[in-house]
Amino acid sequence: MPAISLSEARSARWSIGSVDIDGRVIAAPMAGVSDQPYRRLARSYGAALAVTEMVSASPDLQHSRKSRQRTTHNGERDPISVQLLGADPQHMADAARANVDRGAQIIDINLGCPTKKVCKRLVGSALMKDEPLVQKILESVVKAVSVPVTLKMRTGWDRQNKNAAVIAKMAEQAGIQALTVHGRSRECRYHGPIDYETIAWVKGTVSIPVIANGDIDSPAKAVTVLEKTGADAVMIGRAAQGQPWLLSRLNEALNNGKDPGEPDLMEKQKTTLWHLKALHEFYGAEQGIRIARKHVQWYAEKLNAPDSFRRAFNEAQTPSAQHQLLNALFEQLADQNSTDEHD
């Protein structure tokens, strides 16, 4: 693989407040994806931090099954970062304290989620329209806990109203210790080009670490993004779905200037089977079978699995049936590789 390097040498070790971060690749908080099994897998592949999927700060939901599952950290490596979603400063402060009691070492505030379901409740990226309320939330959460508080946001509400730099400065003054900027507005959701200029603008506005996010899907892209933005790290979301080993490739490229390339089929099999088993164990058979379907479909897509496998896996009704189908797929892929090598 060709060497990939940054023009400016940077240490892989940095910090978010008092918390040391060893690496410049961070696994993004993704709703319905970044659960405990995924976070453990991301860390095993070199992610310096794996943020939880967003947890509601609503008092009515703090003790729900979903909230408990999202804030279970057994088996995870430090540091633990929990992302909170809400628009009430007191509720956000209370939720921050509760999650620190449950093991969170970093609290992340969500100003980035662009989905209609979230924004119609005037939370997530919808909050970027209300800068005074954002300031109250930031100050309330920072005062509530002794651990570092971070913020994830978009460039702005829409293409015409990019206020990320304004909120970034406000956040720094409130005591926020790091910022993640997804290089799109809320209006863009997950489509269209990434606005690196605004990420660079934010980086030049504050003295706290800035993490670049959005469509970083290769080692070369990660290097380019850090070059263009001056960011301290990259956050990887959808690109790692079905290929968590991408995190390791990015890590190697940023730290050592080399892309090790794709792992062999045996490692992919080991990883996919571990993930499947971890989902069954964490959620229990019934829920685990259902949740495993979307994760394995992402793996299947990256492996170019036949449609017949995808249909059969979605119809499987027991953990053992899912396990057997996945093993059979890898045996089929291994046979194909062997045939191709001898042709």
Examine the pLDDT at 118 and tell me if it is beyond 50: no
Predicted local confidence at residue 120, as pLDDT: 46
Residue 11, both tokens: 């240490």
* More confident site: 339 or 127: 127
State percent of the chain over pLDDT 90: 75
Predicted local confidence at residue 116, as pLDDT: 47
- Matching residue, tokens 């070059």: 227
Predicted local confidence at residue 188, as pLDDT: 54
How far CA 275 is from CA of 40, 116, 203, 279, 319, in Å, comes to: 9, 30, 36, 6, 12
pTM of the predicted structure, to 2 decimals: 0.92
Per-residue pLDDT band for 119 (boundaries 50, 70, 90) equals very low
CA distance 179 to 158: 19
Q: Which residues, 6 or more positions from 9, have their beta carbon under 8 angstroms from its beta carbon?
A: none
Examine the pLDDT at 161 and tell me if it is beyond 80: no
Q: Which residues, 6 or more positions from 80, have their beta carbon under 8 angstroms from its beta carbon?
A: 73, 103, 104, 105, 106
Examine the pLDDT at 340 and tell me if it is beyond 50: yes
Per-residue pLDDT band for 80 (boundaries 50, 70, 90) equals very high
- Matching residue, tokens 């995924």: 38
How far CA 267 is from CA of 270, 274, 301, in Å, comes to: 5, 10, 17
Examine the pLDDT at 115 and tell me if it is beyond 60: no
State percent of the chain over pLDDT 70: 90
Average pLDDT, the chain: 90
- Average pLDDT (176-185) is 92
- Average pLDDT (69-91) is 92
How far CA 97 is from CA of 79, 152, 192, 302, in Å, comes to: 16, 19, 37, 40
3-state secondary structure of 268: helix
HSE-CB for 96 with a 13 A CA cutoff = 26
Examine the pLDDT at 225 and tell me if it is beyond 60: yes
pLDDT digits (tens, 9 = 90+) for 277-330: 999 999 999 999 999 999 999 999 999 999 999 999 999 999 999 999 999 999
CA distance 324 to 166: 53
- Average pLDDT (217-231) is 96
> CA angle, 30 as apex, 209 and 230 as ends, to 5°?
25
Burial letters 309-331, b for 16+ CB under 10 A, else e: bbeebeebeebeebbebbeebbe
What are the catalytic residues? 113
Examine the pLDDT at 125 and tell me if it is beyond 70: no
- Average pLDDT (252-257) is 93
Per-residue pLDDT band for 191 (boundaries 50, 70, 90) equals low
Nearest to 272 by CA among 84, 121, 264, 260: 264
pLDDT digits (tens, 9 = 90+) for 196-205: 999 999 999 9
Predicted local confidence at residue 139, as pLDDT: 98
Predicted local confidence at residue 324, as pLDDT: 98
CA distance 196 to 162: 13
